[in-house]
Structure 1
Amino acid sequence: MSGDNSFVVVANRLPVDLHTAPDGTRTWTPSPGGLVAALSPVLEHQQGCWVGWPGVSDEAPEPFRTDAGVLLHPVRLTEADYEGFYEGFSNASLWPLYHDLIVTPVYHREWWSAYRDVNLRFALEVAEVAAEGATVWVQDYQLQLLPGILRQMRPDLRIGFFLHIPFPSPDLFRQLPWRDEIIRGLLGADLIGFHLESNARNFLDLCAATEGLTVEGNAGTRRTDAHVVTHDGHRVAVGAFPISIDAASLGEGEEGGVDKLRAELGDPETVILGVDRLDYTKGILQRLLAFEELLESEALDPATTVLMQVATPSRERIEQYRVARSQVEEAVGRINGTFGAMGRPVVHYLHQSLPKSELRTYYEAADVMLVTPFKDGMNLVAKEYVACHGDGSGALVLSEFAGAAVELNEAHLCNPFDLESIKRALLTAVQGLAGAPEATAERMLAMHRQVAEYDVNRWADAFLTSLEETR
């Protein structure tokens, strides 16, 4: 199986989960998300391979194929690797730095060492499975050294890199003690993609101020008008490629599921929904506080309004994530204690993952979607909600600091750092549903057209076409 893959995707995680049956039997089952759904056709057509960590420390299955014919090639990581590379450098150093210091990044030399070692290990696996002249597409902030290492090992490869989170301003990025190594790693690619032109400009400005690098052109969307030229003449194309969703992967909602769900909620007039990873960047606490103040002022009626919050567990061993969960759950309890009644909470809270089909029912049932991150590369939840409202129903309240706000500009935009801004946007959305239904529907239909036209396949095609043009 090794060495004959003309198209290789590399990501921190493989799209598989380990399931242990009651009798102790363990099986690896594919868990395709939007990314694998988008890339599967290309992977299948080109004898493709997905390289990544299987999600369990100290073990990895033999390479195997999914039902769709995609080869999954596991990278084995120890518990120490996971702690230093993933929990440490990736998520306690890079993540807060790239999200504009919402919490203070921590820079430990031993974490950097683990990050470098794991990137090298991934590179060795990729070098082994990639065919001569293969295309390699590296995904996200955990693997920013990988393009540079691969360029040295396998100069025959065509290498693309895509960053799924924001890229910070040069002034913030320069905090990083290992900034030069990260820049060199990224510039091993032939094409570097970001969600937004503003992210691409941040990177280009950083390169323009770095000795030995020359910047040509300006960042564009779904095209590569900008290049960074390294001291040895290597030209790296840079562009914005806004990611989107595969609406079909949401499946069909359960027959009668919306009516059933709303009945379980007490048949409220207005259902407000939040769906997020439980991450301190997502602004979950701020939306709860805004909702609480609207109830206190009687702008919203707890007898006719409910808020559903789905908070998917995330990085629970990291201190800031434990604090975020504690604050959110304290607010949920306080709001329900003040405004709820026995058997009738005003906030319905789930700290668990939901299957896509159930999530679709939640999206369809919600009158208003609340998406209030302090900073987000894109935010696909906003696009999933819009995709489920092709009839023009519903309203979207969206943080202006989510990447999706650039494309979904018909949403009710808010500043998540300002509770009054969230309150205004939420109240305007709720009142618009009843008071201005035609204008509200027009806004949703415009956003639905955008999401339908620029889907995840359009994203993958645009990036891979641009990567091929660098040859």
Structure 2
Amino acid sequence: MRDASLVVIASRLPINDAAASEGVFEWRRSPGGLGEALHPVLINTPTTWIGWAGKAGPTTSLPDVDGVRLVLIELSEEDVRDHYEGFANSTLWPLYHDAIEPAVHHRRWWEAYQRVNQRYADHAARVAAHGAVVWVQDYHLQLVPMMLRAQRPDLRIGFFLHVPFPPPELFMQLPRRAELLRGMLGADLIGFQRIQAVHNFHQLVAKVLGATVDENGVEIDGRVVSTGAFPVSIDTAEMEALASSEEVVQKAAQLRADLGGPQRVILSVDRLDYTKGIEHRLKAYRELLVDGRLKAAETMLVQVAIPSRERVEQYRLLRDRVESEVGRINGDFGRVGVAAVHYLSQVFDRTELAALYRAADVMAVTPLRDGMNLVAKEYVAARVDGCGALVLSEFAGAAAELTQAYLVNPHDVEALKDTLIQALQADPTEPNPQMLAMREHLRHHDIQAWAWSYLTALEAACAAR
């Protein structure tokens, strides 16, 4: 199967939006994103990627990027509003992340979700070679597997969910729960990040659809659909090589100097999303300063918040709250020329990110809920010196693998404060066994191992059908 042609179907194309607007097309590699995860796999495989470019309007032809053929899906303003911003990110996303924000339901959003999913399926049916492997990605496109199977039963179809799959009591709130489950069941293999998500899915298809389930999959309507947990990872070797480069080493040293020479630097890199726990983290940091357990002259928080879904109301409000709290902390605890929190709302390239990872004594990755969180893995891979401390949320998928991290419940602000202090007390100049153990794990569980594991399981599932 690894020699067969591959079609990836994802909500977005993996190209840099800003560069594309200038006629220069290059791979978009944002921290922890889908393009970042799949890039090293796809450049070695004959691949077509079907997706949206991120802006409403007519489609144009695109050149190959890194050897990957790009097929552009056109979305109107209505499609973007009702499918992407509406059903995908205002209905499904909140429910899949433990309803941290209330899910919103509108019938026209569901109609748009069906319409856009059909458009993706139709494009894939036209471009996929006979017997090709089609890999459908994530919650935006849960109806595509069944829609595609109806048109092209010759295809080998996989579906992978990058976000958490919720417990039954949350998923059951969805008015169209049966249709969503049946859409996923069009695949030969459904992959999740964690085994608990597999269990949640099994419970739901048994309850809602009356399907027969066992530990390996689902039997329904005379078909057997395999299921499994496949924790996504990163290109560990690439990050290690980048972090070891002279350019990154020099940039990291310059960053420490630019920050004013605090004894300790805490770093967080997140999309600006309410699931990432940014407000809880800022609250914990502020209280540590108020309590005198940290001093702004000795410790600094660098918060990178990458803009996200800026047209969705919850995200605009979140940005306002975060920026207001950062201003309050700096007003109370900063001093002339030195901020207590360095807040950066921008996208960083790979070299700059690696330098930030090398410069940070503590990496705080504390989402309230996350499918995996590849930033945590990137930090570990970048610490080629074996130093540094990772504070990691118990509710990130990465916590199941990086068990040597300082694990914490981010909802418990007192526990978060204590854990940050514990991590800061580690010697930042000496390699530590916890970091070395996590680095060893990532060397054996990198992105190539993830893709091989998933595609091998998909091959077995197709052979058995």
Same fold (TM over 0.5): yes
Normalised by the size of structure 2, how large is the TM-score? 0.93
* SS of structure 1 residue aligned to 2:436: helix
Structure 1 contact 18–27 (Cα < 8 Å) conserved: no
User: Using CA pairs below 8 Å that are at least 6 residues apart, which structure has the higher relative contact order?
Assistant: 2
Corresponding letter in the other structure for 2:285: F
Shift of 1:41: 6.4
**Other-structure match for 1:452:** 443
**Other-structure match for 2:263:** 269
* SS of structure 2 residue aligned to 1:301: coil
Alignment of 1:412-431 (within 5 A): 412-431=406-425
Aligned counterpart in structure 2 of residue 334 of structure 1, from 328, 332, 338: 328
Deviations 1:290-326 (A, max 9, x none): 0111111111121111110000000111111111111
Flag the 1:277–1:46 CA change in 2: closer, same or farther, 3 A. Answer: closer
Alignment of 1:241-252 (within 5 A): 241-250=230-239, 251=242, 252=245
Asked if residue 227 in structure 1 is aligned to residue 221 in structure 2, the reply is: no
- Matches of 1:333 and 1:37, distance apart in 2: 32
- Matches of 1:292 and 1:40, distance apart in 2: 38
- Matches of 1:319 and 1:38, distance apart in 2: 28
Aligned counterpart in structure 2 of residue 238 of structure 1, from 227, 230, 249: 227
Deviations 1:176-235 (A, max 9, x none): 00000000000000000000001111111112223431102x2xxxxxxx11001x2111
**Other-structure match for 2:47:** 48
Structure 1 contact 64–73 (Cα < 8 Å) conserved: no
Asked if residue 284 in structure 1 is aligned to residue 278 in structure 2, the reply is: yes
Q: Once superposed, what is the RMSD of the aligned Cα atoms?
A: 1.8
Alignment of 1:262-411 (within 5 A): 262-411=256-405
Deviations 1:156-190 (A, max 9, x none): 11100000000000111000000000000000000
Shift of 1:6: 2.6
- Matches of 1:183 and 1:20, distance apart in 2: 37
**Other-structure match for 2:460:** 469
Alignment of 1:92-241 (within 5 A): 92-216=90-214, 218=215, 226-230=216-220, 232-241=221-230
- Matches of 1:54 and 1:466, distance apart in 2: 30
- Matches of 2:92 and 2:37, distance apart in 1: 26
* SS of structure 2 residue aligned to 1:308: strand
* SS of structure 1 residue aligned to 2:275: coil
Aligned residues: 452
Asked if residue 441 in structure 1 is aligned to residue 440 in structure 2, the reply is: no
- Matches of 1:455 and 1:27, distance apart in 2: 30
Flag the 1:281–1:32 CA change in 2: closer, same or farther, 3 A. Answer: closer
Identity of aligned residues (%): 52
Corresponding letter in the other structure for 2:432: A
**Other-structure match for 2:64:** 65
Flag the 1:270–1:55 CA change in 2: closer, same or farther, 3 A. Answer: same
- Matches of 1:135 and 1:179, distance apart in 2: 27
Runs of 4 or more above 6 Å deviation: none
Corresponding letter in the other structure for 1:13: R
Corresponding letter in the other structure for 2:140: Q
Shift of 1:32: 4.6
Greater shift, 192-201 or 390-399, is seen at 390-399
* SS of structure 1 residue aligned to 2:318: helix
- Matches of 2:8 and 2:35, distance apart in 1: 9
Corresponding letter in the other structure for 2:212: T
Structure 1 contact 40–70 (Cα < 8 Å) conserved: no
Structure 1 contact 38–460 (Cα < 8 Å) conserved: no
Corresponding letter in the other structure for 2:449: R
* SS of structure 1 residue aligned to 2:157: strand
Deviations 1:244-286 (A, max 9, x none): 1113554345342122111111111100001000000001111
Structure 2 contact 38–447 (Cα < 8 Å) conserved: no
**Other-structure match for 2:27:** 30
* SS of structure 2 residue aligned to 1:258: helix
- Matches of 1:447 and 1:46, distance apart in 2: 29
Unmatched 5+ stretches in structure 1:
219-225
- Matches of 2:375 and 2:18, distance apart in 1: 26
Corresponding letter in the other structure for 1:17: N
Shift of 1:418: 1.0
Unmatched 5+ stretches in structure 2:
none
Shift of 1:42: 5.6
Corresponding letter in the other structure for 2:82: G
- Matches of 2:338 and 2:133, distance apart in 1: 55
Greater shift, 448-457 or 33-42, is seen at 33-42
Structure 1 contact 390–445 (Cα < 8 Å) conserved: no
Corresponding letter in the other structure for 1:415: N
